[in-house]
Structures are given as structure tokens and as C-alpha cells.
Amino acid sequence: MAELANPATVAPASRRDATLQHSPAKASPDALPPLASVAVEGWHALAKRAIEPNGYYLPGWTLAIDASARGRTTVSALGAWSDTAESGAAHLIGLMPAVSLWRAYKIPLPALVSADPYGTLCTPLLDREMPDQAARTLMGQARDAGAHALILRDVALDGAVMKTFTRVLEQSGMRPRLLQSHVRACLDANRGADDLLRDALGAKKLKELRRQRHRLAEHGEVSFEVARTPGDAARALETFLILEAGGWKAQRGTALLQDDGDAAFIRRAVPALAENRQCEIVTLRAGPNPVAAAIVLRHLTHAFYFKLGVDERFAKFSPGVQLTLDLTRHLCADPAIAVVDSMAAADHPMINPIWRGRLAIGDVLIPLRRNDPTVALIHAAMTLRQRIREPARRAVHLIRKLKEKRT
């Protein structure tokens, strides 16, 4: 089972943005190169050497977002380069797509924030051969851009990257500050799927799911398909997009097809990642009818369960759960995959009972100077924002659930 993070190790708590150009109180991404200018070959090489996987900061994914995704385009790059390589040329050893604190949270203070990659994981890429140098260089570049702090959003609190930043900070007499945290489901893919599912769900629940699957088979033979090549993945993606746009995500306005920029991003990203075996589209069918589909990213030893779409007409057969059971068997049988991140919210009612591993995820403030009063101000502003937003967020979820029950 994936280790549970120990939050006690973290202290509690542009050229594209015209408003930044005129405010000395904000760190300016104008001082940083645009993400689109990062050499793709060097980025790919860094991804292969990364100390911690993150499928959402792979070049095929992030550049597609940067080009067209709604509210997520034209971000900047914090990059770290080695002094020299054996060939005499420096190479990329660290990368963090970044935006200003103003753009991320509308807080006019000098900090840089990891850019939103359309998924709840923003772990920077650090070279496993020189992680401390990479982290230290990223921090130095942020200081040079006028930042007093970095905010790492949605990072694994017990991951190698957070351990690296913590170690580098300690060497300078500083420590990270935890802004918020939660745990979410993950799959320990090193275990056998049958044993894992039996332990997680129990014999009675599995029997009920088999009964639902037999009922689903009355609409046609049930099959599980995996699209891996760029062409197959692009075709399977269209099936996924239709399913997602026909479900509850469309009612909330979050289906990818509902925005031209989002649709363009995913249609560019999926085949680009599939070209490097970093993306699969999985589909569950009953005869010719697709009843559920999902996008799965892959990076090194990890897979990431990005999005799920289902045909609501088959809801009584639990198509999303059925697909997840098949996906569990598929990934547990793959020796290259050790951990699968559900990417789900805490206490997710579908995935939590199936995948019993837990990952601690949080937002962390990285100070860039010792005893900096501006860092305390940034921390206070972020803490206040969290306290104000949390009750509102809970109220929105409650109202949404009540509306869905009525529907």
C-alpha cells in the first residue's frame, strides 16, 4: 500500500497578465520564459529522469493545456539547468510551470504558484540524479523574478519532491508551511487484483456487482477495451467525450466538449501522450454500446485516473464501477505500474471503497528568504482565503447534492 504522508514534517500553517506589469508588489512571470519556449527534447529527457512521477507535467499534456485550455493558457516556466554535462552542454534538471499568486488566487502579493494542469497534481519535475540542485535552482530563479515564496499546489506530501524541498530549506534554516491537505484514494498495483478487490469489497458486494454485470450483458456481450496507439486513442477519445457530455458533468458545465478550448486541448494531448505510451483510453461496452470510458495517464511507475464518463441510461448496472474493476485488473497485471492515483476528491463515494490505498495531497508554501515578513503575510493571506472559502465550498456541494437527488 502506498505510504501515508506525515504532515507533521511540514509546518502548518505576464507578458500574459497585464496587471502584473504595473504592480511591484507582485512577482512577475514576465521575468520568466514562457512555458511554450522550453525545449521539448530536454523536457522529455527530464521526465524520464524525474525523481517523482507526474503525468500532468509531461510535455504532451502541459503544452496542449498551455495552447488552448480554458483559463489555463500561456503560463511561465521555472526551469533549472545543470552547470554542464559531459558533452559540455547544460541540460534541464528541474521544471515547474508557474503563474503569479494574483492569477492563481487574486492575491496581490509576490509569490509564484504551480500552474493548474487540469488535474489535481502539480508536482514539479526534478532530476533524480541532482534533485537538491534542481530545487535550489528553481527557488533561486523564483527569487530573481521577484517572488518571496513558491506555492506548490496539490503535491504528494510524502513524495520525493517534497522531501527534497524540505531538505534544501533546512540547509538554509527554513522550512515549508502546509496550507491545506487531504487524503485521496490510490491503488497499490503491486498486489494481485482479485485479492485486492476481495479484501476491499468483500464477497457480498462482489457478488452484487457480478449480478449487475450479468444484467448488463443482456444488452450485449460485455467487453473491456484499451486504446494505446495515437490513432486508436484519438478514436476512443471521441467516445469518451460523448459519454462525458451526456452525464452529470455536462449539467455542472465541466464536460470537456462544452468549451472549444478544452476540447482542443484534450484532442491534442491524448494522441501526443499515446505516441510515447503515456496515455490510454479504456472503454466498457455492452455489445456495440459504450457504457463507460476513462482517460488514464502514465508516467514512469505511476498511472493517473484522469476522467470517467458513463452512459446514464445504464446507471442501474453501475457502469463506472464496472469499468473501474476492469481497470484495476488491467493495471495490476502491468508490471510497469506500481501505484495508480485516483485523482479523486477526498472521501469519493465510488473509488474509495475499491482502492483502499491513500495518498496525502496538499498545498505547501516554500519560503525563499529567511525571516522574511512578506512570507508571513503571504501565509496569512492564503490561510484567510482558505477559511473563507471552505464553508462556501461545503455549502455549494450540499446544494448540488440536494439538486441531484431531486433530479
Q: Tens of pLDDT along 106-149?
A: 999 999 999 999 999 999 999 999 999 999 999 999 999 999 99
Helix, strand, coil content of the chain in percent (nearest 5): 45, 25, 30
Q: Tens of pLDDT along 251-274?
A: 788 899 999 999 999 999 999 999
Burial 236-267, CB ≥16 within 10 A → b, else e: bbebbbebbebbebeeeeebbbebeebbbbbb
Residue 111 identity (one-letter amino acid): A
Place of cell 475499491: 354
Spatial separation of the C-alpha atoms in residues 81 and 114, rounded to whole Å = 18
Q: Which residues pair with 156 in a beta bridge?
A: 361
**Average pLDDT for residues 51-55, to the nearest whole number?**
98
Other Cβ atoms within 10 Å of 80 Cβ, number: 26
| Ramachandran sector of residue 253 (left: φ over 0; alpha: ψ -120 to 50; beta: rest) | left
Place of cell 510515447: 276
Spatial separation of the C-alpha atoms in residues 178 and 201, rounded to whole Å = 34
The predicted pLDDT at position 307 comes to 95
The predicted pLDDT at position 18 comes to 29
Q: What is the CA radius of gyration of the chain?
A: 22
* Percentage of the chain exceeding pLDDT 90: 82
Grid coordinates belonging to 344: 479523486
Task: State yes or no: pLDDT of 225 exceeds 90.
Answer: yes
Spatial separation of the C-alpha atoms in residues 196 and 360, rounded to whole Å = 21
Helical ranges in 217-292 per DSSP H: 230-245, 248-252, 260-274
- The mean predicted confidence, pLDDT, of the chain is 90
- Please indicate whether residue 136 or residue 23 has the higher confidence score (pLDDT): 136
The predicted pLDDT at position 27 comes to 55
* Percentage of the chain exceeding pLDDT 70: 87
Task: Evaluate whether 127 touches 94 at the Cβ level (below 8 Å).
Answer: yes
The three-state DSSP-derived secondary structure of 170-214 is HHCCCCCEEEEEEEEEEEECCCCHHHHHHHHHHHHHHHHHHHHHH
Spatial separation of the C-alpha atoms in residues 233 and 256, rounded to whole Å = 16
Task: State yes or no: pLDDT of 344 exceeds 50.
Answer: yes
Task: State yes or no: pLDDT of 20 exceeds 80.
Answer: no
Spatial separation of the C-alpha atoms in residues 24 and 283, rounded to whole Å = 51
Q: How far is CA 102 from CA 98, 109, 143, 381, in A?
A: 12, 7, 17, 12
Task: Evaluate whether 248 touches 403 at the Cβ level (below 8 Å).
Answer: no
Spatial separation of the C-alpha atoms in residues 103 and 113, rounded to whole Å = 9
